[in-house]
Structures are given as structure tokens and as C-alpha cells.
């Protein structure tokens, strides 16, 4: 891990922001490492979850928000279940991801792209339309052959819908999206 | 046992890629006299993507369905899908502990949710409300002679404050049901290890590593099949099993079956009724082993009767 100059890089506001939004006392983490020990994703993270907790404690906003780790956390809840300080660690990771989204700092662009396309499908139909999500993802990510090998395995089973299920109340679902976006605008 | 009746939320996967989970759930519920009334015009729970945007937004997307259940005059939403379950439980949990949060969620909705509904997994209904005695009464073809390991995945029991079901570190509900329907249940240390969740599309290598570890441990435990209760886990372990083999250098062909499909088999339903042929990995060998186990049991029973005579 690189040396960090705390005099120039500590952002106290970030500590408060994460604590307020997550409702967790990050200062109570004493770095036992139990979260990291049980985290199935540590092998893929740039900073293991206990280091993310420490980086938040010392106000390292840029490092945390630009980390891959916050985008690769699957919210499996092993850390939250095991933290001896009862910190909801998975929630803290989620909040960092939410802040990174708002500040347009997204280290794992494909992960965010997939989530956005998923939610577009919910907004449009009220339920997700699996084939459309995968096709849009492949086009927009430029990774055209993603899961192309699965097509011949699942398509003959006749389970996938080739047309979206549009629910009657899809307007009421769409309104959740629009009211939420309006609420953000009004607060700004 | 008085008749059990619940508002039923299948979720998006169960009407498409995981249709067999919906079909087997309904058939098993029918046999066990559990009435499942589908929630009219239900919408997506929001799943993982919604909570990466905002927690207020995620709760609202989930709570639209909970509000419909209130309108139905029901107090329990039942879903087979752990991801949907988690979305509902978190919405209820967050709205219950913070009145301000609740008001904000309701301001995003056409119809407010007033916290008069709880969410439960279908597994919880089977284990707690139906119970193993009532399940065992319906078993006519016990799954003798096969080893099945239960794979719970992350969200059915975690985090414990929210899930309020079974043990968060060593759950036993599926173990108990599998034993009740006659299967042998070997010790399985990967019951709760994450399969890689929704990263199959975007980060396939993560999923093939984590799911590969689960399959490897299952096979080392002597499993003939893995029992699951989650459509995403099923997809990662079954549909992606060839990707796992390719990426990780394995050569696995282990069937991944929903707990409801296994129960259905023991209740005498056929594999095709339970859509077991809709999985990627074939179950033929596993099904033959069950038939063989049953025949051997009948034979030894006849022998013991004739030796007594």
C-alpha cells in the first residue's frame, strides 16, 4: 500500500458523510480483520474490506470512492453478520458505492452499466426483461459475446420470455423513479 | 393443521429463467395444502441494482408490492427467491426503525405501505409453518441412496437482525427437509459461501471461481446433487457449470436442484412435472440412483418379511 500524507489528504467531512448515511459508527472498528477473513471477494478486491473501513476512518475519500472493492462487493452480508462491533459493514460498502455513483467516480464501469440497464428495464416494464437486459449490456459495454455460449444451453429449454411482461401498474413503478429524481433535484 | 394461506410473490426470475422453481413451489404447496395467492400486478423487487442507487429508492421499489399485500388484507408476503426476500425485509426493517425514512419512502409511492405486512421465504413456511411431520406424511418415494448437500446462499439467513430465520452461520432448515424426504445429507462446509451473485455477466471469472469452489467442496463431500433455494445461485452453479469447468480446469457434471423439486420427487411427482429436464446439467444418473435405492429398499423389506415368515 502506498504512503498516504494524512495532513493533505484527510477529509473529515467524508467520515461524517459515511457515518450519517450508513447510520454506523465507523470509529468503532478496531481493525480485527474478521470481515476480510470471511469476505469471499477479497481475492478480487484492490483493498480488502477491513482496509476500506480503515481508509474511511482516516478520511481517504478519493481512495475509497475510486476503489474497485466498493463495486465488487456483492452484499453477501458475511461481514455484517460477523463484525464483533456490530457494524453493518456491507451497508457501509453500499453507502460508499452510492456516494461514488453521485460523484461520478465509478471504477467498475461495466458493473454500474449492468445495474443501470437492469433498472431501466424495471422502469419501462415494471418487471425485468432478461433477454433485453443482456442484449443491451453487450451492445453498450462493447463486449458483444458476453454469455453467448449460454444461449444454446438455455434457449431450447423454452423458459425465457421473448417479449417483456408489461404490468398494468407500470406507470406507478415509473413514478417511483421520476419522483426520486425530482426529489434529488429539489434538494440541490 | 389449519389451512395455511399466503400472498405469493414469485419474482421476475421465476416467470422466466427459473420457471421450474415457480412450478415446483406451487405443486409442493398444493400437496401440502398451503394456499399461495399471487399478488396482483406485482412489480420487480429492485434486487441488487436498486440499493446501489439509493436506499430510499430501493425501499420504495420493494414497498409497492408490500402495499398491494396490505390491500389484499393479508399480513404475510411469501416468496421463494432470497434476493426478493432480502429486498422486502430490508424495506420493512429500515421503514420500521425510522419514521422519517418511512414517510420519505411513502412519498415516492402512489399507495403508502403502512408496515402491516411481514415477508417470509417459502423455505421458512415449509420449515416452521408446515413442519417436518406434515412433510413426512406426504413422502411416498423417499430419496434413499442419494447424497444431497444443501446450499443456502447468502441472504436467507443473513444478516440475522433482518433475516430473523434459522442460524446465520450454520442453518439447518434445508438439511432437515432433505433428511425428512429420505436423502442422506453429508456435512457441507460451503453452505453459506457466496456463489458470486449477480456478477456472472460483468465479472464472470469471480463467479466461476466462487461457484467452482462450492461445486468442488460439494463433490468432495460425496454429493450426488446440490439442493438450492435461490434462482441466481441455481443459475451460477448449473447454467454456468461448463464455464466453471472451462475457467477452473474442472470436469464437473453435478445436478443443481431446487429444494422444491426434490420435495416434489419424494411426493411422487415426475421429473418432467417438476421441470427437472429444464436444467443445464442432466439429472438422469441422479434420478436412476433414487430408483435403484427404492428398489433395493423394497427388496430388503420383502426379504425381511419372508425371513420372518
Same domain, residue pair A159 and A96: no
Same domain, residue pair A91 and A134: no
Which of A93, A105, A119, A149 to mutate to test binding with chain B, by most B CBs within 10 Å of its CB? A119
Closest CA to B187 of B204, B197, B206, B172: B172
Q: Which pLDDT tens digit goes with each residue over B90-143? A: 999 999 999 999 999 999 999 999 999 999 999 999 999 999 999 999 999 999
- % of chain A residues with pLDDT over 70: 99
What's chain A's average pLDDT? 96
- % of chain A residues with pLDDT over 90: 95
In this prediction the ipTM stands at 0.96
Cβ–Cβ gap A173/B64 under 8 Å: yes
- What whole-number distance in Å separates Cα of residue B203 and Cα of residue B91? 28
Query: Where a domain ends, among A83, A102, A121?
Result: A102
Residue A74: inside a domain: yes
Residue A188: inside a domain: no
Q: Which pLDDT tens digit goes with each residue over B2-36? A: 689 999 999 999 999 999 999 999 999 999 999 99
- What whole-number distance in Å separates Cα of residue A7 and Cα of residue A64? 17
Confidence (pLDDT) at A72: 98
Confidence (pLDDT) at B203: 97
Partner-chain residue, chosen from B49, B61, B203, that has the shortest CB–CB distance to A176: B61
Which of A37, A87, A120, A122 to mutate to test binding with chain B, by most B CBs within 10 Å of its CB? A122
**Residues in B touching A154 (Cβ below 8 Å):** 17, 239, 280
**From-to residues of CATH 1.20.1050.140 in chain B:** 4-122
Query: Where a domain ends, among A62, A78, A102?
Result: A102
Domain B4-122 coded CATH 1.20.1050.140: yes
Residue A166: inside a domain: yes
pLDDT above 90: residue A126: yes
**From-to residues of CATH 3.40.50.11810 in chain B:** 139-297
Confidence (pLDDT) at A150: 96
Confidence (pLDDT) at A2: 77
Domain count, chain A: 2
User: How many other C-beta atoms can be found within 10 angstroms of the C-beta atom of residue B86?
Assistant: 27
Residue A170: inside a domain: yes
Give pLDDT < 50 ranges for chain B: none
Same domain, residue pair A83 and A121: no
Residue A1: inside a domain: no
Same domain, residue pair A51 and A85: yes
What's the domain range around A171?
109-182
Residue A187: inside a domain: no
- What whole-number distance in Å separates Cα of residue A144 and Cα of residue B89? 36
Confidence (pLDDT) at A180: 97
Confidence (pLDDT) at B200: 96
Task: Please tell me the least confidently modeled range out of A134-138, A160-164, B6-10, B138-142.
Answer: A160-164
One-letter-per-residue 3-state SS of chain B: CCCEEEEECCCCHHHCCCHHHHHHHHHHHHHCCEEEEECCCCCCCCHHHHHCCCHHHHHHHHHHHHHHHHHCCCCEEEECCHHHHHHHHHHHHHHHHCHHHHHHHHHCCCCCCCCCCEEEEHHHHHHHHHHHHHHHHCCCCCCCCCEEEEECCCCCCCCHHHHCCCCCCCCCHHHHHHHHCCCECCCCCCCCCCCCHHHHCCCHHHHHHHHHHHHHHHHHCCCCEEEECCHHHHHHHHHCHHHHHHHHCCCCCCCEEEHHHHHHHHCCCCCCCCCHHHCCCCCHHHHHHHHHHHHHHHHHHHHHHHHHC
Query: Where a domain ends, among A102, A118, A134?
Result: A102
Confidence (pLDDT) at A187: 82
* Among chain B residues, CA nearest to A102: B53
Same domain, residue pair A91 and A113: no
Pair B67, B109: CB distance under 8 Å: yes
Residue A124: inside a domain: yes
Same domain, residue pair A20 and A95: yes
Cβ–Cβ gap B52/A97 under 8 Å: yes
Candidate CATH numbers 3.40.630.30, 3.40.50.10420, 3.40.50.11810, 3.40.50.720; the one for domain B139-297: 3.40.50.11810
Cβ–Cβ gap B159/A110 under 8 Å: no
Same domain, residue pair A47 and A68: yes
pLDDT above 60: residue A132: yes
pLDDT above 70: residue A1: no
Average pLDDT estimate for A95-99:
98
Average pLDDT estimate for A166-186:
95
Amino acid at each position: 500500500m502506498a504512503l498516504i500524507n494524512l495532513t493533505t489528504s484527510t477529509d473529515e467531512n467524508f467520515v461524517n458523510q459515511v457515518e450519517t448515511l450508513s447510520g454506523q459508527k465507523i470509529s468503532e472498528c478496531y481493525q480485527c480483520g474478521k470481515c476480510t477473513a470471511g469476505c469471499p471477494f477479497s481475492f478480487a478486491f484492490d483493498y480488502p474490506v477491513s482496509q476500506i473501513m480503515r481508509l474511511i476512518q482516516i478520511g481517504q475519500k478519493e481512495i475509497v470512492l475510486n476503489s474497485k472493492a466498493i463495486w465488487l462487493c456483492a452484499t453477501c452480508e458475511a461481514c455484517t453478520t460477523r463484525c464483533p462491533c456490530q457494524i453493518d459493514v456491507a451497508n457501509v460498502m453500499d453507502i460508499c458505492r452510492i456516494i461514488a455513483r453521485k460523484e461520478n467516480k465509478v471504477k467498475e464501469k461495466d458493473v454500474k452499466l449492468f445495474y443501470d440497464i437492469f433498472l431501466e428495464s424495471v422502469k419501462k416494464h415494471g418487471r425485468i426483461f432478461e433477454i433485453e437486459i443482456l442484449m443491451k449490456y453487450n451492445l453498450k459495454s462493447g463486449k458483444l459475446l458476453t454469455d453467448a455460449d449460454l444461449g444454446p444451453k438455455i434457449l431450447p429449454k423454452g423458459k425465457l420470455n421473448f417479449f417483456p411482461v408489461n404490468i398494468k401498474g407500470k406507470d406507478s413503478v415509473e413514478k417511483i423513479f421520476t419522483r426520486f429524481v425530482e426529489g434529488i433535484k429539489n434538494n440541490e | 393443521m389449519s389451512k395455511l394461506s399466503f400472498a405469493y410473490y414469485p419474482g421476475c426470475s421465476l416467470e422466466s429463467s427459473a420457471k421450474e422453481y415457480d412450478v415446483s413451489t406451487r405443486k409442493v404447496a398444493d400437496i401440502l395444502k398451503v394456499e399461495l395467492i399471487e399478488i396482483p400486478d406485482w412489480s420487480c423487487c429492485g434486487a441488487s441494482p436498486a440499493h446501489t442507487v439509493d436506499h430510499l429508492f430501493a425501499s420504495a421499489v420493494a414497498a409497492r408490492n408490500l402495499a398491494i399485500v396490505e390491500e389484499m388484507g393479508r399480513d404475510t408476503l411469501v416468496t421463494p427467491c432470497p434476493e426478493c426476500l432480502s429486498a422486502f425485509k430490508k424495506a420493512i426493517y429500515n421503514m420500521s426503525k425510522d419514521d422519517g425514512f418511512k414517510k420519505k419512502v411513502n412519498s415516492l409511492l402512489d399507495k403508502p405501505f403502512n408496515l402491516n405486512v411481514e415477508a417470509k421465504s417459502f423455505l421458512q413456511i415449509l420449515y416452521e409453518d408446515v413442519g417436518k411431520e406434515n412433510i413426512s406424511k406426504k413422502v411416498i418415494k423417499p430419496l434413499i441412496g442419494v447424497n444431497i448437500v444443501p446450499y443456502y446462499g447468502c441472504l436467507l439467513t443473513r444478516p440475522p437482525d433482518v433475516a430473523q430465520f434459522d442460524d446465520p452461520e450454520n442453518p439447518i432448515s434445508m438439511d432437515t427437509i432433505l433428511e425428512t424426504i429420505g436423502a442422506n445429507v453429508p456435512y457441507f462446509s460451503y453452505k453459506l459461501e457466496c456463489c458470486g451473485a449477480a456478477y456472472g455477466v460483468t465479472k464472470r471469472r469471480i463467479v466461476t471461481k466462487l461457484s467452482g469452489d462450492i461445486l468442488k467442496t460439494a463433490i468432495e463431500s460425496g454429493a450426488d446433487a446440490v439442493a438450492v433455494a435461490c434462482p441466481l445461485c441455481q443459475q451460477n452453479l448449473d447454467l454456468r457449470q461448463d464455464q466453471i469447468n472451462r475457467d477452473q480446469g474442472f470436469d464437473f457434471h453435478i445436478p443443481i436442484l431446487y429444494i422444491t423439486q426434490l420435495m416434489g420427487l419424494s411426493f411422487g411427482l415426475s421429473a418432467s412435472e417438476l421441470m427437472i429436464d429444464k436444467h443445464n446439467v442432466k439429472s438422469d444418473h441422479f434420478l436412476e440412483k433414487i430408483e435403484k435405492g427404492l428398489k433395493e429398499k423394497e427388496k430388503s423389506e420383502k426379504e425381511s418379511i419372508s425371513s420372518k415368515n
